Amino acid sequence: MGIKENLKIVQEQIAEYSEKAGVNPGSVELVAVSKTIEAPKIQQAYDAGQRMFGENKVQEFVEKSEKFEKDVKWNLIGRLQTNKVKYIMNHNVFLVHSLDRIGLAEELQKQGEKTNNMTDALIQLNIAEEETKSGLLTGEVDGFLEKVTQMDKIRLKGIMTIGPNTDDEMAIRRVFAKTKQIYDRLCAQMPSFEYLSMGMSHDFGLAILEGSNMVRVGTAIFGQRDYTNIP
């Protein structure tokens, strides 16, 4: 099946789950995760109307962003190395999903001051508390928020999490529900909050049922990634 058809199926599933969740289907943003995918395939999704894309490697993002029209909204979703921050300044990053440590916030602020660049970012939470995952633990969020709200080159736009690595749907839903609770609590004090980014190809339906308004979907749109193919 082609990318255009896959995209349509994913959009229909988003609409279906949104309806079940009792929210307007238009209120759930789709980030098409294009990491490792070559430009011609991304172009197919673009031609089908998709504008939000997600990348996880800075170099790959920079190369691709130069190939595409300026109306693409590039999301950075993977662990962002501090020494790579300077390369994303003034590069049209729509949203960083992986603000997961104070050192990264400090570097975004420092480079932002140098280049007069504002970064919109989501705080990544490790709700599943899996050791292999990045992200702040629940108890660390308030202290982190207090520090980062002092930084005028970072605008906090919400929360991101990755579901637990399991087939147990209830366990996945519990993690998403817990994240939504934290998101709602923080929304009350953070008027800039707008996005709750959770859900990937295998669990975006569950994420929407639990209140996600931004899903990051790669495989279901572009097919299995070929890791021998990274530019």
The contact set with ligand PLP (CB under 6 A) reads 33, 35, 56, 77-78, 162, 200-201, 216-220
Query: Minimum Å distance from CB 219 to ligand PLP?
Result: 3
Q: Which is nearer to ligand PLP, 181 or 201 (CB)?
A: 201
CB atoms under 10 Å from CB of 44, counted, come to: 18
Query: Minimum Å distance from CB 120 to ligand PLP?
Result: 17
DSSP 166-201: SS-HHHHHHHHHHHHHHHHHHHTT-TT--EEE---T
Q: Which is nearer to ligand PLP, 34 or 109 (CB)?
A: 34
> Tokens 């339906």, residue?
205
| DSSP class of 211 | T
Q: Residue of minimal CB distance from ligand PLP?
A: 218
Query: Minimum Å distance from CB 71 to ligand PLP?
Result: 22
Return the structure tokens found at 19.
């309806």
Residues 6+ apart with CB under 8 A from 153: 108, 109, 112, 113, 117, 118, 119
Q: Which is nearer to ligand PLP, 121 or 162 (CB)?
A: 162
Q: Which is nearer to ligand PLP, 151 or 215 (CB)?
A: 215
Query: Minimum Å distance from CB 63 to ligand PLP?
Result: 18
Q: Nearest Cα to 187, choosing from 198, 197, 196?
A: 196
